């Protein structure tokens, strides 16, 4: 959590401040409907943001793919806020959606990495992520920092609307501050992910399953795999498998099953049992201290414990590493994926 981020932690009071916000808190508090519009990885960050904003502020959020949103006739009310997310700030579809919204006088807040970008200039409000230059084409740290920005914004909105108590905000802040050390330890201990990735060498299709926040993150895991490893993959809401897609699970199909959310853990296990019964080879993700998941899967990646709402920031790390190693093992250039531009400006 950068000191310079548009939404940041006030260490002393364990709350969030947004010193660069131009609108008043009273104006922010009146928004009761949010559209999050973005492309690719940034859209996936938005999906995590949706769950978090709705949980902490009770404001309904719709996440839309920018390339579709620009052709819609969105229903804007006086109290609609649009959040556009774009690492580069130059993605054509995202920019087009922003411009359409501006024509209807909708307040637009941008989450972007690039100061001076079109999105930053044209939005009414900006949260800069200060993630540094994206050296590789595929977004990785951009995702993490966008998700963090969304957590901070959600907490700020919850403070302003009074939907979370100061003690609840302080608890999240404490956990957020422990995240960087946890990510470091996960990056240092990547052997198991490498091993699983190597075992996918001859494989041409892979599934990710999860529920709730785990499903949102699994979409990003699946996109990374397509982008840099060129492996067909699908992220599926685990409970939806039984409505047809289960037919594609057969002997040795790798399935990455995210089971980090305690309230729906049992339901996830029953979905894992279903795919195992059809011969899938399952890599499970569980929170440290959960000794149960190992009974139902082939291998387990343990994630450091944090608040369940914050796990997406951690879960995405081994998912990104999985794509990285799957790409390396296939002899591909991870930094220059085919058919992908750093910013898609057409
Ligand atoms: C959106 C995006 C990235 C993807 C690639 C192409 O970019 O789809 O998620 O990794 O870089 O563009 P942006 O709007 O976040 O810059």
Q: Give per-residue pLDDT as tens, 213-248.
A: 999 999 999 999 999 888 999 999 999 999 988 889
Q: Tens of pLDDT along 42-51?
A: 999 999 999 9
Distance (Å) from CA 295 to ligand 1 centroid:
38
Distance (Å) from CA 126 to ligand 1 centroid:
18
Q: What pLDDT is attached to residue 342?
A: 63
Distance (Å) from CA 115 to ligand 1 centroid:
16
Q: What pLDDT is attached to residue 132?
A: 83
Percent of the chain exceeding pLDDT 70 equals 96
The candidate with the shortest Cα–Cα distance to 211, out of 234, 233, 236, is: 236
Instruction: Looking at the CA of residue 119, tell me the nearest atom of ligand 1.
Output: 14
The candidate with the shortest Cα–Cα distance to 49, out of 37, 32, 67, 66, is: 37
Regarding the beta carbon of 88 and ligand 1, being less than 6 Å apart is answered yes
Contact 128, 4 (CB under 8 A): yes
With the most atoms of ligand 1 within 8 angstroms of its CB, the residue from 37, 86, 88 to mutate is 88
Q: What pLDDT is attached to residue 163?
A: 98
Token output for 71: 């052709």
Average pLDDT over residues 137-162: 93
Place of tokens 């980090």: 260
CATH numbers and ranges of domains, the chain: 8-181 (3.40.50.10490), 189-329 (3.40.50.10490)
Q: Tens of pLDDT along 72-121?
A: 889 999 999 999 999 999 999 999 999 999 999 999 999 999 999 999 99
Regarding the beta carbon of 137 and ligand 1, being less than 6 Å apart is answered yes
Regarding the beta carbon of 342 and ligand 1, being less than 6 Å apart is answered yes
Instruction: Looking at the CA of residue 38, tell me the nearest atom of ligand 1.
Output: 14
As a whole number of angstroms, the distance between CA 119 and CA 252 comes to: 45
Give exposure, 113-138, as e/b (b: 16+ Cβ within 10 Å). bbeebbbbebbbbbbbbebeebeebb
Would you place residue 189 in the very low, low, confident or very high pLDDT band (cuts 50, 70, 90)?
A: confident
Sign of CA dihedral 23, 11, 57, 42: positive
Distance (Å) from CA 175 to ligand 1 centroid:
28
- For residue 156, is pLDDT > 90? yes
As a whole number of angstroms, the distance between CA 45 and CA 147 comes to: 5
Regarding the beta carbon of 87 and ligand 1, being less than 6 Å apart is answered yes
Regarding the beta carbon of 344 and ligand 1, being less than 6 Å apart is answered yes
Would you place residue 135 in the very low, low, confident or very high pLDDT band (cuts 50, 70, 90)?
A: low
Q: What pLDDT is attached to residue 137?
A: 67
Instruction: Looking at the CA of residue 146, tell me the nearest atom of ligand 1.
Output: 15
Q: Tens of pLDDT along 285-339?
A: 999 999 999 999 999 999 999 999 999 999 999 999 999 999 999 898 888 777 7
Q: What pLDDT is attached to residue 346?
A: 67
- For residue 23, is pLDDT > 60? yes
The candidate with the shortest Cα–Cα distance to 7, out of 123, 116, 110, is: 110
With the most atoms of ligand 1 within 8 angstroms of its CB, the residue from 66, 85, 127, 139 to mutate is 139
Regarding the beta carbon of 91 and ligand 1, being less than 6 Å apart is answered yes
Would you place residue 21 in the very low, low, confident or very high pLDDT band (cuts 50, 70, 90)?
A: very high
Distance (Å) from CA 227 to ligand 1 centroid:
11
ipTM above 0.90, yes or no: yes
Average pLDDT over residues 19-36: 97
As a whole number of angstroms, the distance between CA 207 and CA 14 comes to: 39
Active site residue 342: yes
Would you place residue 140 in the very low, low, confident or very high pLDDT band (cuts 50, 70, 90)?
A: confident
């Amino acid at each position: 959590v950068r000191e310079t981020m548009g939404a940041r932690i006030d260490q002393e009071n364990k709350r969030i401040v947004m010193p660069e916000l131009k609108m008043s808190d009273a104006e922010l508090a009146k928004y009761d409907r949010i559209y999050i519009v973005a492309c690719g990885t940034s859209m996936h960050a938005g999906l995590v943001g949706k769950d978090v904003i709705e949980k902490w502020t009770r404001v309904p959020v719709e996440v839309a793919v920018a390339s579709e949103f620009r052709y819609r006739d969105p229903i804007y009310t006086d109290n609609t806020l649009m959040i556009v997310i774009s690492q580069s700030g130059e993605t054509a579809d995202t920019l087009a959606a922003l411009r359409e919204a501006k024509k209807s006088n909708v307040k637009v807040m941008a989450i972007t990495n690039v100061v001076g970008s079109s999105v930053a200039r044209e939005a009414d409000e900006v949260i800069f992520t200060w993630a540094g230059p994206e050296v590789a084409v595929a977004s990785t740290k951009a995702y993490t920092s966008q998700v963090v920005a969304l957590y901070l914004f959600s907490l700020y909105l919850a403070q302003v609307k009074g939907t979370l108590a100061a003690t609840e905000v302080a608890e999240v802040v404490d956990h957020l501050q422990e995240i960087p050390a946890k990510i470091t330890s996960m990056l240092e201990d990547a052997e198991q992910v490498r091993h699983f990735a190597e075992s996918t060498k001859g494989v041409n299709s892979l599934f990710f399953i999860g529920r709730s926040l785990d499903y949102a993150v699994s979409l990003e895991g699946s996109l990374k795999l397509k982008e840099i490893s060129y492996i067909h993959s699908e992220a599926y809401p685990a409970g939806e498998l039984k409505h047809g897609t289960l037919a594609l699970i057969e002997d040795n199909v790798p399935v990455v099953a995210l089971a980090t959310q305690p309230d729906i853990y049992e339901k996830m296990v029953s979905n894992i049992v279903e795919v195992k019964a059809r011969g899938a080879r399952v890599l499970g993700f569980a929170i440290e201290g959960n000794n149960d998941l190992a009974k139902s899967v082939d291998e387990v990646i343990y994630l450091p414990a944090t608040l369940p709402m914050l796990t997406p920031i951690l879960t995405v790390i081994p998912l990104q590493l999985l794509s990285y190693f799957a790409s390396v093992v296939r002899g591909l250039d991870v930094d220059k994926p085919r058919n992908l531009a750093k910013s898609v400006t057409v």
